[in-house]
Amino acid sequence: MMRKYSAVLVCASVWWNMHADISVTPDSRSSLEIAIAGDQATFYDVRKIEMPQGVHIVRFENVAATINKHSVYLELPNNPSLVLMEQNFEYDLVSSQKLLEKYIGKELEIVPAEYDWPDSSVQSAELLSIHGGQPVFRMGAKITFGDIGQILFPYMPENLYTSPTMIWRINSAKRQPAEFAVTYVADSLSWDVEYHLQLEKGKEVARFSGWLTVHNRTGLDISNARIGFCLPHEIGSDQQASQSNADKAHPQLARLRKTFKRKNARQPLLKIADKSNVSLANHQTKKLFWFADVPANLTSRYQVGFDRDEAARSRISKTAECIAEISNSRKARLGFALPAGMVAVYEKNRLHPNLFLGSGEFDGAQKDRKIHFPVPANSQVIVQKRNFPASQTNELKELKQKFLLSNAGKNDIILSIESYVGKNTTLAHSSHKYEALDDSTISWNVLVRSESQNELECTLRRPK
């Protein structure tokens, strides 16, 4: 039977009659499981010690400084002879301000600054108060304040800690091994995803890979932890059915997910190919391997777009992008939800093993669906656009546009052209079938044969 304790954590200093003061450090940790959702994470920290008989103060040291004090759960698995009597949380961390506050009304030794004092020997002064961050001292009959030299503190005051610490008063019926399993939620641990698309010159199949970047700002150095990544609701909804299998494989992460459920965050956990644990120092950002070598087929579809400024230019030439298609299925070594992120495209050729071609945003995709990425800088397909003034009346004016579509490749292609035309504009003439994407943008899909050119013409009519 596993017993759970929940407590409202306080910062007040409490003195207890006790037999021993026991520190439970990260050295006694048997496992650390973390599930990250957005900018928040749930920690499941299990540590084992030898517990003496009697009532003791147990200090569970080195937890996240950004902890939500109302989220703490202590579990004493299968051990009725251990009783939690009281729980506190100390985040009164050591600093110059906190040290001074602890010594108000006491005498301190001061090594005078050479430029302020004729005598550089150690002086004694009573700390009267702290005002505006400046200490106020009494030296004999005189009062002084500010930076008067180096202050020497004789010892570390009680209830002042170098890291956030949970403090429990626990009654142990006998000397025995004790396991402390603590679950809590902390802020400032987040993740994002980055995808790479690796092209190889002359080949029609690219390689698709994924990386997860973790940002740790919790105030805790994370060591040897198993980390789960919770998907956003909109992208992870299709993984709910398979969650039970993941729970069986990783029961600790399943427990974390239940904690998220209590916090109204029901995101499923992302499956990570790399099974090794992760260490991440505070203020460190680390990139973790997710998956690699998923085939991406370079299709015969290309696209090019002209925005408002480009459409207004009298002459412009642009290189079309090839569309890479990926099957998000188990057969293709995927088959799971892909969160939104950036896609970086590289090309491997004789001169450059990883030539960066460009990057773009990916909106994410659910499993068992086709994914399409535009591949920049494919120089085989070029579109040249020219504008020619046409006839005009007192109320209307016309603009004629010509697009020269050049395909230097060995295969026929379908080229999608999107162009801004402006509001209140109509197409008086188009040489090819078109589609209005919105009230100011139109699109054409044009067949361009291999090693040949094609022309697209249209006439735009708009009010003066």
Instruction: Express each pLDDT in 98-136 by its tens digit.
Output: 777 887 888 888 887 765 555 667 888 888 888 777 888
Segment among 87-101, 228-242, 322-336, 395-409 with least mean pLDDT: 228-242
Cα within 13 Å of Cα(191), Cβ side: 26
**Beta strand 315-319 pairing with 285-306:** unpaired
Contact 62, 91 (CB under 8 A): no
What is the predicted pLDDT for the residue at 118? 56
Cα(187)–Cα(436) distance, integer angstroms:
46
Q: What is the pLDDT of residues 351-387, one digit of tens each?
A: 888 888 888 888 888 888 888 888 875 568 999 999 9
What is the predicted pLDDT for the residue at 274? 55
313, pLDDT greater than 90: yes
What is the predicted pLDDT for the residue at 266? 39
253, pLDDT greater than 50: no
pLDDT confidence bin for 458, thresholds 50/70/90: very high
Q: In this structure, what is the dihedral angle of CA atoms 349, 352, 358, 360, given to the nearest 10 degrees?
A: 70
What is the predicted pLDDT for the residue at 1? 43
Q: Judging by beta carbons within 10 Å of its beta carbon (0-12, 13-18, 19+), is residue 455 exposed, middle or buried? A: exposed
Q: Which domains does the chain have, with CATH numbers?
A: 2-92+161-187 (2.60.40), 96-152 (2.30.30), 381-463 (2.60.40.290)
- Between 156 and 298, the more confident residue is 298
SS3 12: coil
**Beta strand 54-61 pairing with 21-24:** parallel
Tell me how far apart the terminal alpha carbons of the chain are, to the nearest angstrom. 81
Segment among 186-195, 243-252, 417-426 with least mean pLDDT: 243-252
Distances (CA, A) of 207 to 204, 271, 303, 373, 410: 10, 20, 20, 12, 22
29: CB partners within 8 A, 6+ apart: 45, 46, 47, 223, 224
Instruction: Enter the tokens of residue 311.
Output: 């459409």
Cα(417)–Cα(444) distance, integer angstroms:
5
